[in-house]
A and B are shown apart, each in its own frame.
Chain A
């Protein structure tokens, strides 16, 4: 019976697939650990920076930096879209791209021009398909190992573009990492810098007593000048942080997707094995009936 062979080879095929999905799951798990430890290594720096920045911002005058000034007329909006380079990570990229698309629609319907900087192949491919303006693209960053200088170089380009007047606003679309099963795609404004004090979640770390104490700092050079050197770095930090979170989220998503795939393979193998056994049983029964029928005929 041919179907017996077919079922057998189908089972073998699914088993092979399962091996692959399980291997990918383990690879993602180990990359996830790496990405998480990079995030953890960054936290002390980010927290300290936010604390110092918050203090300085309180002391410096308003509008000391053009990076803080809202443009009266916003015509050109720039979006930085962070996605992964590879697929097989569940709805990860789809979710990010949906978010980006909604953001784009919103801007376009308000009569603004939008351009993109892409980190990651998936987002870039989407931009190409949609024939959107791509200013810059970085492949091989998200999900891989990257240093702070990757973020600072590209962030500086964004700042330059903003200062030149190429863009009136810069936003970033990335996957926030809030836990293994929770990585919501998020849009955040990078430039002009929203009111400081709301930029980081870590601000609360510095309690009020410390704030009062810190207020007596001597600053060199003046608070205004210090703020001016800190603000661009703040953008680097935000971008670096978004890259770290997106990478971590990518690995977490892939891990989950591959885990589900492995489970689905198990289910399929179970039901195929059942079908195989049934078919085999049917064949044996048929053969037995043949033999019995033959014996009966001889005797008769």
Chain B
């Protein structure tokens, strides 16, 4: 069995995750990628989405990240995200409310709304909802 790698998910407000993992899957802008120990140094930007990893005891964990960057080194993966939330920290009803709000705003077709922002908000809300609802499978 391959050695574990150190996974660190850092946000401006706190260390969201800092533990060892067997494998880490992250949503890169050019497609999802997986990292095992011994990975070539690699740097990419991330989409809004889910980071999956297997912790050292083999349990699958999911963390929602709202974009950012990931750096993979042979022995560790560092993810810099503007926000990161574990499954159990997500408030589903709040995410759902945010999703509906964003949808409404996009549907309202008014000229003065910021489409990019509304779409970003919708994507984040969707990601949170997915992770919250047992996003372990994919």
Contact = CB atoms under 8 A, between A and B. Distances in A.
B82 A148 contact: yes
Given A148-B83, A221-B30, A45 B11 contact: yes
B45 interface: yes
A52 B71 contact: yes
B43 A219 contact: yes
Contact of B43 (A45, A220, A237): A220
Nearest to B28: A220
A72 B127 CA distance: 44
B78 interface: yes
Contacts of A41: 12-15
A151 to B, nearest CB: 8
A75 to B, nearest CB: 28
A227 B10 CA distance: 19
Range of interface residues on A (Cβ < 8 Å): 20 to 34
Contacts of B43: 52, 55-56, 217-220, 226
Interface string B80-96: 10110000000000000
A65 B29 CA distance: 19
A42 B11 CA distance: 7
Contact of A44 (B10, B45, B71, B83): B10
Contacts of B83: 148-149
Interface of B: 10-15, 28-30, 40-45, 69, 71, 78, 80, 82-83
22 contacts: A38-B13, A41-B12, A41-B13, A44-B15, A45-B11, A45-B80, A49-B69, A52-B69, A52-B71, A52-B80, A55-B43, A148-B13, A214-B41, A216-B40, A217-B41, A217-B43, A219-B42, A221-B29, A221-B44, A221-B45, A233-B82, A240-B12
